[in-house]
């Protein structure tokens, strides 16, 4: 099947009227027999606290990621794709709602009374459920907890297996996980750590009591979901908890936070123990993604499924991990909790043989909020009005000339005094505190580490960005900037 017929097929799926990319020549190409009645499946696989530089295909020298490197060679590697923001819950809120940080309902890691979606919030899972998809979340949620309104099954997911609470998700060897609204016991023996924060008493597991690694369950569940997918199109959100640290392990003297039962190929290296753990966690992700892609191929679904691999925010300095040991932020500066690109620019790989052109590198500027419009276009339905979302379906299907662009991408972070950031073409602006602070301006093409402030030489651009920032931020009484860090999630 050549690329034109595949694109024609995609145009039919998406509804040619709404997809400007579908030129006359592509529309006239015959579609395959199964095309018109089977919208594109979407699989979104997301690591937790993995940096831009952690994959071989993004320049990593020490950690082995052969499957993800091959995924990029068979698909499209993005160089300028951003998370929602720089920590877990709000980045996921942007992903689920298609609303940037000035609009999205969950804007921080916080107590479960506010770190939750409410019934009126509309998620990409609800959009796809309404469009006839079966929807599944496997892994960490972070947008609703036991006893509140944000549970995945109440926010558009037909099936959920994993963690609700992010402190629970610190522990890679939990003694229970959730299946839908029921607790599933696991044989790990958890010892409670000193009480932390966020409505959950986290814990640590001694090496001899680590029986089941939750990530391994998530790969297995993902494989089984794909094998049993049936006839309906599906949206599978695989939300991993690696290589996030178990921050509770820092509170005991017999463990470190990069907990894993086997250091694998890194066991005998002369590295710090947490570094071995970090590398082993990343390589375990690589194996898991390989299993998921293999399963799609074995089930004959690869040619009708768009798979994305990314991470929710930049690399962490938690649980004994040193992100500089691996150069985890790649060419950028900053880590998790920064709005410099090290905190928010993500590895982002799109894969789908027959859908995504092979071996391409794209500098399209997008972010997590774009999933909603992309999913709507793939499903052939209308996205809600007033989103901060631009479909990236044209660029991932090789129709770059039809790809719409954001005027600017917008980010906020409510800790560390409150930070606003904007990506605008080649420029990046950072302002702290909100509204009143000086705007720093950087050219991230020439200066990816954002070291040379060129605001003084570019007053018109700075003024344009200031206007955009002021308009983008819609106050929410639940979320106000704080001086310190809310909690290590």
Stretch that binds Ca ion, among 80-88, 152-160, 410-418, 454-462 (CB under 5 A): 80-88
* H or E element that contains 55: none
Residue 403 contacts by C-beta under 8 Å, 6 or more apart in sequence? Answer: 21, 364, 392, 394, 395
Q: Is 54 in the site for Ca ion (CB under 5 A)?
A: no
* Minimum CB–partner distance for residue 88 and Ca ion (Å): 4
Stretch that binds Ca ion, among 48-56, 297-305, 354-362, 439-447 (CB under 5 A): 48-56
Stretch that binds Ca ion, among 83-91, 191-199, 209-217, 270-278 (CB under 5 A): 83-91
* Minimum CB–partner distance for residue 116 and Ca ion (Å): 17
* Minimum CB–partner distance for residue 305 and Ca ion (Å): 25
Q: Which is nearer to Ca ion, 44 or 122 (CB)?
A: 44
Q: Looking at 259-405, list the stretches that DSSP marks H as alpha helix, in order from N- to C-terminal side.
A: 273-298, 341-344, 370-379, 393-396
The dihedral over CA atoms of 77, 365, 127, 386, expressed in degrees to the nearest 10, equals 180
Q: Is 370 in the site for Ca ion (CB under 5 A)?
A: no
Q: Which is nearer to Ca ion, 86 or 399 (CB)?
A: 86
Stretch that binds Ca ion, among 81-89, 157-165, 190-198, 426-434 (CB under 5 A): 81-89
Stretch that binds Ca ion, among 42-50, 190-198, 400-408, 465-473 (CB under 5 A): 42-50
Residue 195 contacts by C-beta under 8 Å, 6 or more apart in sequence? Answer: 201
Q: Which of 6, 65, 464, 414 is nearest to 242 (CA)?
A: 65
* Minimum CB–partner distance for residue 92 and Ca ion (Å): 8
Q: Report the C-alpha gap between 407 and 465 in whole angstroms.
A: 10
Q: Give me the 244-273 binding string for Ca ion, x by CB under 5 A, dash otherwise.
A: ------------------------------
Q: What is the DSSP code (8-state) at residue 90? A: H
Stretch that binds Ca ion, among 88-96, 146-154, 338-346, 393-401 (CB under 5 A): 88-96
Q: Which is nearer to Ca ion, 9 or 337 (CB)?
A: 337
Contact present, 316 and 51 (Cβ < 8 Å): no
* Minimum CB–partner distance for residue 410 and Ca ion (Å): 19
Could you say which of 13, 40, 88, 281 contacts Ca ion (CB under 5 A)? 88
Q: Which two tokens stand for residue 347?
A: 């590895």
Residue 195's alpha-carbon distances to 116, 202, 258, 263, in angstroms, are 21, 7, 19, 28
Q: Report the C-alpha gap between 433 and 194 in whole angstroms.
A: 33
Q: Which is nearer to Ca ion, 245 or 387 (CB)?
A: 245
Q: Which is nearer to Ca ion, 49 or 388 (CB)?
A: 49
Q: Which is nearer to Ca ion, 49 or 370 (CB)?
A: 49
Q: Is 48 in the site for Ca ion (CB under 5 A)?
A: yes
Q: How far is CA 446 from the centre of its chain?
A: 26
Q: Which is nearer to Ca ion, 80 or 312 (CB)?
A: 312
* Minimum CB–partner distance for residue 188 and Ca ion (Å): 22
Q: Dihedrals φ, ψ of 266, to 5°? A: -100, 0
* Minimum CB–partner distance for residue 239 and Ca ion (Å): 10
Q: What is the DSSP code (8-state) at residue 114? A: T
Q: Which is nearer to Ca ion, 88 or 465 (CB)?
A: 88
Q: Which is nearer to Ca ion, 313 or 432 (CB)?
A: 313
The total of other beta-carbon atoms located within 10 Å of residue 302's CB is: 20
Q: Report the C-alpha gap between 23 and 315 in whole angstroms.
A: 41
Cis peptide before 144 (omega within 30 of 0): no
Q: Which is nearer to Ca ion, 98 or 243 (CB)?
A: 243
Tell me the residue nearest to Ca ion as measured from the CB: 88
Could you say which of 10, 49, 440, 442 contacts Ca ion (CB under 5 A)? 49
* Minimum CB–partner distance for residue 488 and Ca ion (Å): 10
Residues 298-337 that bind Ca ion (CB under 5 A): 312-313
* Minimum CB–partner distance for residue 321 and Ca ion (Å): 13
Q: Which is nearer to Ca ion, 14 or 346 (CB)?
A: 346
* Minimum CB–partner distance for residue 109 and Ca ion (Å): 9
176-194 burial, b if ≥16 CB within 10 A, otherwise e? ebbeeeeeeebebebeebe
* Minimum CB–partner distance for residue 383 and Ca ion (Å): 26
Contact present, 256 and 172 (Cβ < 8 Å): no
The backbone region for 198, taken as left when phi is positive above 0, alpha when psi lies in -120 to 50, beta otherwise, is: left
Q: Report the C-alpha gap between 162 and 214 in whole angstroms.
A: 8
The count of residues interacting with Ca ion (CB under 5 A) is: 5
Cis peptide before 433 (omega within 30 of 0): yes
Q: Which is nearer to Ca ion, 41 or 313 (CB)?
A: 313
Catalog residues that contact Ca ion under the rule CB under 5 A. 48-49, 88, 312-313
């Amino acid at each position: 099947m050549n690329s034109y017929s595949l694109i024609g097929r995609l145009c039919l799926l998406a509804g040619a009227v709404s997809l400007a990319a579908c030129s006359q020549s592509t529309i006239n190409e015959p579609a395959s027999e199964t095309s018109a009645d089977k919208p594109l499946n979407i699989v979104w696989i997301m690591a937790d606290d993995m940096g831009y530089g952690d994959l071989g295909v993004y320049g990593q020298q020490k950690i082995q990621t052969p499957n993800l490197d091959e995924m990029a060679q068979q698909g499209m590697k993005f160089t300028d794709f951003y998370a929602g923001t720089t920590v877990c819950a709000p980045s996921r809120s942007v992903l689920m709602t298609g609303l940037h940080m000035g609009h999205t309902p969950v804007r921080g890691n916080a107590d479960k009374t506010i770190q939750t979606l409410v019934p009126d919030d509309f998620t990409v899972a609800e959009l796809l459920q309404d469009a006839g998809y079966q929807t599944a979340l496997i892994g960490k949620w972070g947008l609703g907890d036991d006893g509140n309104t944000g549970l995945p099954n109440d926010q558009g997911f037909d099936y959920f297996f994993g963690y609700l609470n992010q402190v629970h998700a610190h522990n890679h060897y939990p003694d229970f996980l959730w299946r839908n609204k029921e607790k599933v016991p696991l044989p790990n023996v958890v010892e409670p750590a000193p009480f932390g924060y966020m409505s959950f008493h986290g814990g640590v597991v001694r090496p001899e009591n680590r029986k089941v690694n939750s990530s391994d369950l998530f790969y297995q569940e993902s494989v089984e979901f794909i094998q049993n997918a049936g006839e309906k199109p599906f949206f599978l959100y695989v939300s991993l908890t690696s290589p996030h640290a178990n921050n509770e392990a820092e509170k005991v003297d017999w463990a470190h936070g990069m907990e894993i039962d086997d250091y694998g190929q890194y066991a005998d290296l002369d590295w710090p123990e947490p570094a071995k753990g970090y590398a082993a966690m990343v390589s375990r992700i690589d194996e898991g993604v390989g299993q998921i892609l293999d399963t799609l191929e074995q089930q004959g679904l690869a040619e009708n499924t768009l798979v994305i691999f990314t991470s929710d925010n930049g690399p962490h300095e938690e649980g004994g991990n040193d992100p500089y040991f691996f150069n985890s932020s790649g060419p950028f500066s900053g880590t998790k909790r920064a709005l410099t690109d090290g905190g928010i620019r993500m590895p982002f790989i799109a894969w789908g043989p027959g859908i995504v052109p092979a071996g391409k590198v794209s500098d399209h500027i997008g972010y997590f909020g774009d999933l909603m419009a992309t999913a709507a276009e793939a499903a052939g339905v209308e996205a809600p009005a007033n989103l901060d979302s631009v479909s990236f379906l044209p660029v991932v299907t090789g129709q770059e000339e039809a790809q719409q662009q954001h005027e600017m991408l917008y980010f906020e972070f409510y800790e560390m005094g409150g930070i606003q950031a904007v990506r605008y073409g080649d420029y990046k602006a950072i302002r702290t505190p909100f509204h009143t602070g000086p705007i720093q301006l950087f050219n991230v093409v020439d200066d990816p580490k954002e070291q040379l402030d060129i605001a003084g030489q570019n007053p018109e651009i700075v003024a344009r960005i200031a206007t955009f920032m002021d308009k983008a931020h819609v106050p929410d009484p639940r979320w106000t900037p704080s001086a310190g860090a809310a909690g290590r999630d």
